[in-house]
Every structure is written in structure tokens, then in C-alpha cells.
Structure 1
Amino acid sequence: MTHHATGPRRPAAALAKALPPWSLIAAGALAGGLLGGVYGIAKPPAYTATSYVVAVPTEQSDPASALGFATAYGRVATQVAVLGDAQVWAGVPVRTLKSSVRTETSPDAPMVAITATSARPDLAADMANAVSRALTRHANDAQATTHVELQQFARATKPTEASSASPAVTGLVGASAGGLLGGLAMLARPRRTGDEPGRPASVPGPAPAADVHGQL
């Protein structure tokens, strides 16, 4: 014969009300920290290397023209025409260079920064230097027309430290995000009857008139 529990079951809302307010924040921070730490450990580290080229005006040009061509070369560096030559020296396909290499230019200096990112530190340096070499060759092929020469300013070196976030950092970010979500959940959870905002606490009313006169 099967016996059924006779005690009443507490609904989930009642359990949520019974928890202390800080418990949701603590649980969210703990869960977020664990997930962030696991993500930082599971994700492979990324290494970044940067090569620099500078545009130099010839006798038939001026610094302003060199600055303008440096900006143009920064845009051309990630095009297929340049990456097609760079893949030979880097030893990786064009699609890898396309997704791993980015360029930056300055509005004040005629310089182009070519940055490559890879899970291998040596490959990151090789890709940055390969794109820099290919861009220099393409730019100097048009030097008779542009009157601007592109020279290598600094080669990329093999990075010694990863540029990606460490597990400690990802864990801290996850804990912060989890604590924030826990705080939002605390605000949205059902409130106790006595905790409803705007509801005044019960105050004893005045004594009946008969009692007042009877005490005089």
C-alpha cells in the first residue's frame, strides 16, 4: 500500500521568499566566476605581434601627401592583392591572414601598424612581417606615380606573453556579470507581504471615546 505525504508542499514562490536577499547575488557571482574561469582555461591563448611601416615623401612630394598615402595603404594592406603575396612568406592561406591581421593608421604620423594574432607566437610575428613586406613591395611599385616611398620602420618580434585574458580575469568578469544578474533577479523576485513598497506599517488606532472618558 502506497503512503502519500500529508504535509503541504511549499511552492517555488514561497521558497524564493524564504531566501535571504543576498543569496541570489552570491549564487550568481559564484556561478559566473566558475563559468568565466572554465572559459579562460578552455580557450587557447592568443598572441599578438605588430609590425610598422612608414610613408616617406620623395623630393617631388610633401609630408601631407605621405600622410594621405599612409592612410590609403592602411586600407589596402588587408586586401587580397597584398595578402596573396603575403601568404607565400607567412606560410598560411589568405583566409587566415584575412581573419588574423588588422591595420591601424594615425592622423598625425604617416605610419601604418600591422598587427597579427595567432595561437602561436612565432606565427603571429611571421604574419605581421609578411603583410608588411608585401605592402611595402606593392607601394614601392607605384612610387613613380605616388612619389611616396614605403619603408619598414620596425619588424614584428615574437611575443613572450599572451595578449588574451587570463583565467583569473575571465573568472572575475564572469563573477561580476553573475552578481549583476543575481541582483536583478533579487529585484524581480516575489516580495513578502510586509515588504511591499508604499504600504504603511500597521499603526494602532485611537482608543474608543468611552474608554477615554472612563479614564478621566
Structure 2
Amino acid sequence: MTDTPTRRRRPSLDRVRKLPAWSALVAGTFLGGLSGGVYGLVTPPVYTATSYVVAVPTDKAPSDAARGFAQAYGRVATQLAVLGDAQVWAGVPVRTLRDSVRTATSPDAPMVAVTATSAQPGLAVDMADAVSRALTRHAEDTKGSTQVRLVQFSRAVRPGKPSSASSGVTALVGASAGGLLGGLVLLARPRRTGRGEGPAPAASVPGPATAADVQR
């Protein structure tokens, strides 16, 4: 009775081993594509909106001072002092702004890009514009010491389509990853011996010497 489950498993294992070598590649590609497609359908879309502010030096500041202060304001934009004012205009908590807003600067231009992401396109626009507005207010308060002010260069535009990957793209990525894993399994699979080849003969081990062998 105890050998019955083991005997039932052996035919199943034999069938798996007799499958064609390329079946692992096909199965990995299919499962990976299916998983990627389901992930793309379940995950909500993400929209991105970006507003721009530019640093402008006053008459008392050198022309290259604007680029340096633009870099500094790009780092300050996501700090609590700025986000605390921006939450009033955006209508979201500071934590949401901290998680959704990113800034970028360029070493060649005195400009700060404020980018916000959200599942709602209108909210992404509101958050980007709110942070830009709060940043220009803080720059205006310190204009007397920095001799540099921030001016809104471009307001955020409502995105017409999500910036996140579609279900087709995620399915393609999943299929590629699954095919890669299937290929690795195919390479790691032990090769079969030829039909005419039998098992390798076992190495003969000499036995203990007898008295007759010693006399010889």
C-alpha cells in the first residue's frame, strides 16, 4: 500500500521528461506573457504633468548666479517648507506631494522642472502647479539676499494619455522574461543519451587478493 503513491508519480515524471526540449521555452513565454498582461490590466494607469520655473538674476547679481540657484531651488522644492504651502493649493496632504512630486534641473539652463504623477490627470496638473507656485513664493521672500528670483516659465498641461505602460507592453515584457527563464531551464536540462547508446559500464573494482594469487 505504501508503494502505490510512488508508483503513480513515476509515470507522470516520465511523461514530463519525454516532453520536447522546446516545451520549456514555449511554456515560459506563455506564462510570462499572461502574467504581464494581467498585471497591466490590474494596475491603475499613471498620469504625469510637468511645470517649469526659471531663475532670473537681478541687476546686482552676476549672470551665472541663476544657474547655481536653480540647482539649489530644485533640491529645496521637495522639502517640507515648500510642500507645506503647496498642499493648500493642491488639496492633498504633504505625504502625497512628497511621494508624487519630483524635480529636475539642468547644468546648462537656470530652469527647474517640477513633475507630478497621479492616477488622476487633473490632480497631477494641480500638484505640479502648486509646488511651482510655492517655490516661486519662497524664492521671492529670499530675493533680497540671493538677488535671484523664480518666474513661472510654463504651467503644467493636462496629460491626454497615461505615462505608465499599457497591458500590451507589460505582456510583451512578461513574455520576454518568461522566455528567458525557459531558455535557462532548457540549457540546464540534462541531455539525453543516443538511442543506440547503452548505460556506461560500471568501473571494475579489484577484489581482495587470495593466497593462490600471492603464490603466483
TM over 0.5: yes
| Matched residue count | 192
State yes or no: 1:63 paired with 2:54: no
- In structure 2, the residue matched to 1:41 is 41
> What amino acid maps onto 1:116 in structure 2?
A
Counterpart of 1:60, as a letter, is K
Note the C-alpha offset of 1:193: 2.1
Distance 1:154 1:8, change over 3 A: closer
Percent identity, please. Answer: 67
- TM superposition shift of 1:78: 0.2
Rate the CA distance shift 1:7–1:84 in 2: closer, same or farther, 3 A.
closer
The C-alpha deviation readout for 1:38-83, integer Å capped at 9, x for no partner, is 0000000000000000001111112211000000000000000000
- Inter-CA distance 98–8: structure 2 relative to 1 (3 Å threshold): closer
In structure 1, runs of 5+ residues without a counterpart are: 200-216
Partner residue, 1:88: 88
Structure-1 residue corresponding to 2:17:
17
Partner of 2:205: none
CA 1:7–1:133 in 2, change beyond 3 Å: closer, same or farther? closer
Q: Counterpart of 1:87 in structure 2: which amino acid?
A: Q
Question: How far is the alpha carbon of 1:121 from its aligned partner?
Answer: 0.2
Consecutive unaligned residues of structure 2, counting only runs of 5 or more, are: 198-216
* Residues 17, 192 of structure 1: 8 Å contact kept: no
Q: CA deviation at 1:16?
A: 4.1
Say which SS state the counterpart of residue 150 (structure 1) adopts. strand
Which one-letter code corresponds to 2:61 in the other structure?
Answer: S
Corresponding residue number in structure 2 for 1:180: 180
Distance 2:39 2:9 in 1: 42
SS of 1:136 mapped into structure 2? helix
CA contact (8 A) 1:16 1:189 kept: no
Q: How does 1:183-198 map to 2 (within 5 A)?
A: 183-194=183-194
Task: Give deviations 1:117-166, integer Å, cap 9, x for gaps.
Answer: 00000000000000000000001100010000100000002111000000
Q: What's the secondary structure of 2:113's corresponding residue?
A: strand
Shift of 1:18: 1.6
CA distance change for structure 1 residues 124 and 157 in 2, over 3 Å: closer, same or farther?
A: same
**1:68 maps to amino acid:** G
Runs of 4+, deviation exceeding 4 Å: 4-8
Give the Cα–Cα distance (whole angstroms) in 1 for the partners of residues 178 and 78 of structure 2. 38
SS of equivalent residue, structure 2 residue 164: coil
Q: Per-residue CA shift, 1:174-193, capped at 9, x if unaligned?
A: 00000000000111122212
In the alignment, which residue of structure 1 is the partner of 2:128? 128
Determine the C-alpha separation between the residues in 2 that align with 1:124 and 1:152.
Answer: 17
What SS class does the counterpart of residue 149 from structure 1 fall into? strand
Cα RMSD of the aligned pairs, angstroms, is: 2.0
